[in-house]
């Protein structure tokens, strides 16, 4: 690798950092579940999100994501799946706010769709939220195609993918850690319902927007 190969990597890192810090489904998922379940769950969600980004960046760099984006049927299925999943998460979050369990304890039967009971579920929730987000696919296709030249050596491309994964995990894990300190947790304990409500509305809005644009393009066009 030459010095010229490092310039696009630096630009890639800066653009990705800005994207990570922008409010979106990934950010909301970490905030919501760290506030509700604590640091370990938040870190495993961060790991799932970063693995999703690793997969997206790898598929984008190899051209597979571009093929999916250019295939009307495949991209349609991804948009429907992504919009439906985000809406599902939103409804689950809102139900946890609206349903009032008796006896002061959470009812598993009423809230099973929003509970995370182990680390595997947390990782899977993060992974699916990122992978099924069609906007993430478009973002990484645009990012890789515009910043990573086709002439870059394989080592450079592998380094680009690794940097995106490390930055993603570090940011979301740091967010989970910052939100799970004792001082912050004491404050968040009284705000969990509001956080669920805000995240629920955000997930529902994003999911429904994707579904409406996908299934009824004449309305948004």
Summary mean pLDDT of the chain: 83
Sign of the CA dihedral running 116, 161, 69, 8: positive
Quote the tokens at residue 72: 């009307």
Tokens coding 147: 């910043």
| Cβ atoms < 10 Å from Cβ of 188 | 18
Assess whether pLDDT exceeds 80 at residue 160: yes
First-residue to last-residue Cα distance in the chain = 45
- Report the alpha-carbon distance of residue 198 to residue 176 in Å, rounded: 18
Cα(97)–Cα(113) distance, rounded to whole angstroms?
A: 13
pLDDT at 168 over 80: yes
The mean pLDDT value for 153-167 works out to 91
Whether this model's pTM surpasses 0.85: no
Provide mean pLDDT across the span 31-55: 92
pLDDT of residue 3: 61
CA distance 213 to 219: 8
The predicted-structure confidence for 100-118, as pLDDT tens digits, reads as follows 543 344 444 444 345 787 8
């Amino acid at each position: 690798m030459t010095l010229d190969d490092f310039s696009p990597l630096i630009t890639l890192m800066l653009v990705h950092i800005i994207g990570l810090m922008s409010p979106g489904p990934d950010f909301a998922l970490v905030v919501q579940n760290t506030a509700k379940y604590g640091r370990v769950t938040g870190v495993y969600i961060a790991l799932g999100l970063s693995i999703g980004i690793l997969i997206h960046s790898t598929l984008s760099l190899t051209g597979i994501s571009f093929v999916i984006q250019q295939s009307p049927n495949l991209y349609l299925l991804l948009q429907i799946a992504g919009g439906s999943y985000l809406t599902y998460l939103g409804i689950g979050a809102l139900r946890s706010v609206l349903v009032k369990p008796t006896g002061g304890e959470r009812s598993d039967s009423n809230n099973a769709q929003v509970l995370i009971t182990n680390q595997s579920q947390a990782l899977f929730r993060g992974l699916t939220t990122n992978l099924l987000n069609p906007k993430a696919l478009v973002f990484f296709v645009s990012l890789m195609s515009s910043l990573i030249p086709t002439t870059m050596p394989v080592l450079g491309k592998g380094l680009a993918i690794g940097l995106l994964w490390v930055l993603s995990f570090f940011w979301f894990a740091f967010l989970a850690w910052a939100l799970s300190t004792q001082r912050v947790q004491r404050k968040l304990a009284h705000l969990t319902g509001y956080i669920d409500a805000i995240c629920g509305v955000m997930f529902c809005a994003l999911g429904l927007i994707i579904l409406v644009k996908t299934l009824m393009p004449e309305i948004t066009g």
